[in-house]
């Protein structure tokens, strides 16, 4: 049976002067989780926020907090985000395998891999699960789904529909076949992140996504509650046969 659509609001487009109010806005809107975009200036070109922001918002919201770690060497930092109060840790597949030529060095983006070291990923899966929290494996638009072995061990897959680094980018349809492929068998979260808005959300729902991350569509909306309501109201238009 189809899972309800969950909306994960990225605070990347929040007004950080009024972060507590912005978090309340997310909560009041009916959003299902808060998405914190952590960027280190190495895995992606820019630096955003770290565990202190998770720590700061943890006491003021009951919503689950998802730390989307766009950082090198997630293993070294996962504990910090768990201790800060994150409920879901999203790590990138590109951190567990040899990168393609052209994106191996500092400053070469986007990072992409064709396969990952499963045992290395399992160390992080264990770390997160040992603390009773959930882990999501994320893929950049150019990285294929290359971790079938661990699908039964993870809580979700996050399909990037933009190259990570910035909000307000254009949705990349290359994400859709990956969502479709996953939706045939995978029972966990099938999340999509990047360029999700009123024009693109239906296509990701049709493909089989059940979690929509949004920053600019939510914070740019005249009525953010309506935006969330709209996203949550979407139903797949095509009849899909589920395994
Ligand atoms: C991109 C981030 C996304 C981003 C989404 O690197 O991971 O979560 O904030 O922003 P919008 O919804 O504006 O595409
Ligand atoms: Zn994100």
Please write the tens of the pLDDT for every residue from 63-74: 999 999 999 999
What pLDDT sits at residue 23? 98
Cα(36) to centroid(ligand 2), Å: 7
110 preceded by a cis bond (ω within 30 of 0): yes
Domain boundaries, position 142? 6-233
Numbers of helices and strands, H then E, in the chain:
8, 8
Residue 241: per-residue pLDDT: 54
Q: Annotated active-site positions, please?
A: 37, 193
* Mean pLDDT, 10 residues at a time, the chain of 243 residues: 85 98 98 98 98 98 98 98 99 98 98 98 98 98 98 98 98 98 97 98 98 98 98 84 51
What is the reported pLDDT for 1? Answer: 45
- Phi/psi for 153 (5° steps) reads -100, -10
- Quote the CA–CA distance of 37 and 98 in Å, as a whole number: 24
Beta bridge partners of 35: 10, 66
Residue 242, domain member (yes or no): no
- The CATH number covering residue 124 comes to 3.20.20.70
**DSSP designation for 30:** T
Ligand 1 is surrounded, with C-beta below 6 A, by 10, 12, 35, 37, 68, 162, 164-169, 193-196, 213-217
* Arithmetic mean of pLDDT over the chain: 96
- Could you tell me if residue 240 is inside a domain? no
Residue 106 neighbours by CB distance under 10 Å? 8
Any domain includes 243: no
Asked whether 53 and 102 are in contact (CB, 8 A), the reply is no
Residue 16 domain-assigned? yes
Cα dist from 231 to 134, 154, 223, whole Å: 23, 25, 13
The answer to the question of residue 124 being in a domain is yes
Number of domains composing the chain:
1
Kindly report the protein residue whose alpha carbon is nearest to atom 1 of ligand 1.
164
Longest dimension (CA), the chain: 47
pLDDT for the residue 240: 52
Residue 64, domain member (yes or no): yes
Residue the block writes with tokens 């990225």:
10
Give residues whose Cβ lies within 5 Å of ion ligand 2: 37, 68, 193
Residue 107 lies in a domain: yes
């Amino acid at each position: 049976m189809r899972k309800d659509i969950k909306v994960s609001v990225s605070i990347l487009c929040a007004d950080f002067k009024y972060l507590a109010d912005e978090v309340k806005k997310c909560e009041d809107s009916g959003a299902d989780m808060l998405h914190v975009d952590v960027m280190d200036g190495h895995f992606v070109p820019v630096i955003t926020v770290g565990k202190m922001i998770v720590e700061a918002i943890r006491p003021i919201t009951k919503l689950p907090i998802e730390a989307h770690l766009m950082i090198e060497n997630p293993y070294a930092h996962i504990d910090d985000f768990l201790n800060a109060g994150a409920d879901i840790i999203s790590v990138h597949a590109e951190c567990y395998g040899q990168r393609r030529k052209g994106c191996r060095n500092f400053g070469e983006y986007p990072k992409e891999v064709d396969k990952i070291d499963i045992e290395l990923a399992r160390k992080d899966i264990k770390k997160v699960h040992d603390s009773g929290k959930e882990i999501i494996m994320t893929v950049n638009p150019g990285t294929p789904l290359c971790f079938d072995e661990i699908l039964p061990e993870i809580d979700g897959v996050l399909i990037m529909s933009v190259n990570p680094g910035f909000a307000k980018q254009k949705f990349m349809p290359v994400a859709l076949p990956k969502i479709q492929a996953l939706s045939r068998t995978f029972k966990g979260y099938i999340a999509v992140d990047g360029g999700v808005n009123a024009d693109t959300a239906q296509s990701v729902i049709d493909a089989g996504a059940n979690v929509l991350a949004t920053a600019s569509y939510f914070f740019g909306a005249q009525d953010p509650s309506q935006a969330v309501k709209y996203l949550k109201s979407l139903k797949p238009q095509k009849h899909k046969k589920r395994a």
